[in-house]
Chain A
Amino acid sequence: RKNVEDFTGPRERSDLGFVTFDITADILKEKCIFDWNVKQLFLYLSAEYSTKNNALNQVVLWDKIILRGDNPRLFLKDMKSKYFFFDDGNGLKGNRNVTLTLSWNVVPNAGILPLVTGSGHVSVPFPDTYETTKSY
């Protein structure tokens, strides 16, 4: 984790987090989520945490679209976050309670758009110091 100027937004120094993760998922396991009315699944991994500045922060780190007919088994290892994990401030340093959750948006051929959060999550504690070298 580093303290870097957030070049995608306001020009102040904010914490930038680096997370690597593995995802193993078998979407068809229990019952088929891909029924006749499901066009695609929008999967996303979000990090949720609290800081001094903000009571609730949620940042989407990674997402993937799974279309009907795609391979329903995911076996991703050592994935890096797709998007920059910038905090609004310096709240990542020493934050012990950053929770990663996998959720998905079911997109039907027509009808309701449910948003489902996977049960089970992973807690990722952030170190107390900044990294000065690029370890990515």
Chain B
Amino acid sequence: CARRGAAGRAAAAAAVMDLFGDLRRMNKRQLYYQVLNFAMIVSSALMIWKGLIVITGSESPIVVVLSGSMEPAFHRGDLLFLTNFHDDPIRAGEIVVFKVEGRDIPIVHRVIKIHEKENGDIKFLTKGDNNEVDDRGLYKEGQNWLEKKDVVGRARGFLPYVGMVTIIMNDYPKFKYALLAVMGAYVLLKRES
């Protein structure tokens, strides 16, 4: 048993040495190539995200449900896909994601009342399915209605559980850094043979 342990440790040490050996053997050109590769991946991800923002018209087309106020439809950790087309009218019964003025947290609730003027100006009230009362208590001091400008988007589709990763990363920042470090190491050290 002790011998197997020593052999195991030796193998692990050899693997690590290999890795560093790889790193040292990489000449400058290869290193630049790896870095550029990494930059490409990051830029592509950013482009896809920005593209989504343009296509959907929403500043944040994918949001994670943070509270249980829309249960049993949505639970904490679910992922929501939003659109925010300018000509899409806001109607009672729709699920909207909005931000209260001055606060950064997006809230996902249902529209229960709308009053729209002829010129299109609209004021509306929201309420979480799982809440007893409407959201007036959540709005800004003195604010009784929400307006179009407060809306981040309308929920069009959803995936359960997937957003949990974001919540975990938020609650345990060490996990986030560890994940980023592993991803970064993988991309930088991966060699195309």
Contacts and interface: CB of A to CB of B under 8 A. Distances in A.
Contacts of B123: 88
B93 A44 contact: yes
Contacts of B158: 107-108, 110-111, 113
Interface of B: 72-74, 91-95, 110, 112-118, 123, 129, 134, 136, 144-145, 155-160
B112 A39 contact: no
Contacts of B94: 115
Interface of A: 8-10, 39-40, 42, 44, 46, 48, 53-60, 63, 65, 67, 83, 88, 103, 105, 107-113, 115
A77 to B, nearest CB: 23
Q: Kindly list the 8 A-B residue pairs having the minimum CB-CB distance in the complex, ordered from nearest.
A: A58-B92, A55-B118, A60-B112, A88-B115, A56-B116, A54-B115, A107-B73, A9-B144
Contact of A109 (B118, B129, B155, B160): B160
24 contacts: A9-B144, A40-B72, A44-B92, A46-B92, A48-B92, A53-B117, A54-B115, A55-B117, A56-B114, A57-B115, A57-B116, A58-B113, A59-B92, A60-B92, A60-B93, A60-B112, A65-B72, A83-B112, A88-B115, A105-B73, A110-B158, A113-B95, A113-B157, A113-B158
